[in-house]
Chain A
């Protein structure tokens, strides 16, 4: 294990127990012992008053020719020939990273036209690697993974970003495994460590209860996925020019075949993602009845109803309403959180909302940390009063 306790120095004071987020330290015979839950987060190292906890530096892996890799890439996914909006958001993030690294930003586009490639340039790309082959029009894991890996091997970008969509989450892991490199899912912020050029990838960890910064220091490329509506787009520049590089697909064979594609868009998810106002409920509602009340409030505000994972897991409301890391990411103008404690996994799905109103009984609830306006109170008292007063206002 790379983190060890010096038994000579350890006094058994238990300071380290309190800071360990993984419950990975036990006290045995009055000495701290690191158990197998340890994730090597290093949180315990600085708190030990005796300096008894140390990281053993294992012979680090030899970095693989890091300097051969240069440039930032965005995989621009398309559906039915139209580039998905997450690609433009990634170009916004990628532009910032590329500028910081003083390098180029390129997009990779499969199965779409030059017209779409030009759009990517206007949204910030310097170059577009375009493969127009019609076989790639519909997403299929093996040809997508094969072609993207081979392009990466040829052109050697240092960073590759992709959308954490059903498409990206399905085939990007195959690309990472082919290239034997690291992949970080669902990043909520991306920055550059200016000293090492390493990508600092922040994502929710441990059931979404805490944030972690992930590095991929010794292998390239560094690959990250980002969920839709997390990153901000750049300004659109209709005069911007760039280079389109047409690439030929060599081997597009696949052992999976798409027989049929069926469109089936849930009305709820459209409403959630387009609504200006979302009224959301959590465990504090105590049961499905609470959502009837929220529906009424949402109706008065012409908004949609959201929910936390806890409320969905309890079966109070269908999954299609879930907001958070494993549900939808939303950014309405106003998000009203009712009886939601605010676990990190929920916060990452809504904290980019313009205005956040939190109503919760517990003044310590983490939801108040992200709130614009906070009300400490009982949702069953505040919300009905709100409904009554809004009705009176509208009646006038």
Chain B
């Protein structure tokens, strides 16, 4: 099986703090990690490779620093890595990102493409299904179990609101995966060595034959108009006094609300 994993480098959400005065983010000193859901995508790809033999290629689009995410992926068992980096990609929304990834994947002609269900910085969950559409292949989102992989088809369980569906798809297919799918391994010593030595290919818009009007800002139909911190509530009431007085005041409120 020839497998492609799409990953994204994101700031570690647990470390992001807000400046209470300005309501803006403090990104200084926040470490970058592989998007947590993509860790499960990598694990799934490596497990399939171990069972069926073949090759796993990780791809990511991002600034030059994203190379570290790809080296981390190699330490986890990925064979090859491609970094899509080009000034022309700056300002991409999900549509432009999906187009760019799909042009890259076309060159690799994989049997299975695996993505995390969403990235924790944008939380849109759009790129996976959009890539599948650009490639004109089927996709299954929210995969929580891979039941069976055949020569030409795959059977998986996808998470739904009130349970799950068992879905069979032809290959090639794109899967987006949830945390329940597996437990990502830790990097092995051999993996760490490989990651150090690996050559990370760097591809530009020209390398993937992307149309310049479909990438980056130009290829992005959505625009951020402005950003802002949420408005504070106006009728807020702070309960003052000793902890006991505060507790009594709260109980009084709860009784007024007929909660007690």
Q: Which positions in A face B, CB cutoff 8 Å?
A: 1-2, 18-23, 35-43, 58, 61, 79, 138-139, 141-142, 145, 165-167, 169-171, 173-174, 176-178, 180-186, 200, 204-219, 254-265, 276-277, 301, 309-310, 313, 319, 325-326, 333-334, 343-345, 347, 351, 355-357, 364, 366, 368-378, 381-382, 385-386, 389-390, 393-394
Contact = CB atoms under 8 A, between A and B. Distances in A.
A373 B250 contact: yes
Contact of A256 (B93, B133, B138, B142): B138
B90 A38 contact: yes
B53 interface: no
Contacts of A347: 230
Contact of B130 (A177, A213, A259): A177
A373 B95 CA distance: 43
A139 B159 CA distance: 13
Contact of B13 (A20, A36, A207): A207
B167 A171 contact: no
Interface stretch (B22-30, B105-113, B187-195): B22-30
B226 A325 contact: no
A198 B259 CA distance: 43
A80 to B, nearest CB: 9
Nearest to A84: B161
A206 B121 contact: yes
Interface in B184-222: 213, 217-218, 220-222
B93 A373 contact: no
Nearest to A184: B222
Given A23-B28, A178-B133, A277-B259, A374 B226 contact: no
B150 interface: no
Contacts of B238: 368, 373-376
Contact of B247 (A39, A262, A371, A389): A389
B120 interface: yes
B25 A393 contact: no
Nearest to B128: A173
Can you list the 10 inter-chain pairs with the closest CB atoms, starting with the nearest?
A23-B27, A182-B221, A369-B232, A177-B133, A264-B163, A182-B222, A173-B129, A170-B141, A255-B138, A185-B124
Contacts of A219: 221
A209 B95 contact: no
Contacts of A184: 222
14 contacts: A21-B24, A21-B227, A23-B26, A79-B162, A177-B98, A180-B95, A183-B95, A200-B225, A210-B229, A257-B169, A259-B167, A369-B233, A370-B232, A372-B237
Contacts of B235: 372
B163 A214 contact: no
Contact of B129 (A23, A42, A177, A389): A177
Nearest to A264: B163
Contact of B142 (A37, A166, A393): A166
Interface in B14-28: 14, 16, 18-20, 22-28
B239 A1 contact: no
Nearest to B18: A209
Contacts of B127: 173
B165 A260 contact: yes
Given A166-B141, A210-B23, A369-B230, 11 more contacts: A36-B90, A141-B141, A173-B130, A173-B133, A174-B130, A256-B139, A344-B229, A345-B123, A368-B232, A373-B237, A381-B243
A351 B230 CA distance: 11
B155 interface: yes
B160 A166 contact: yes
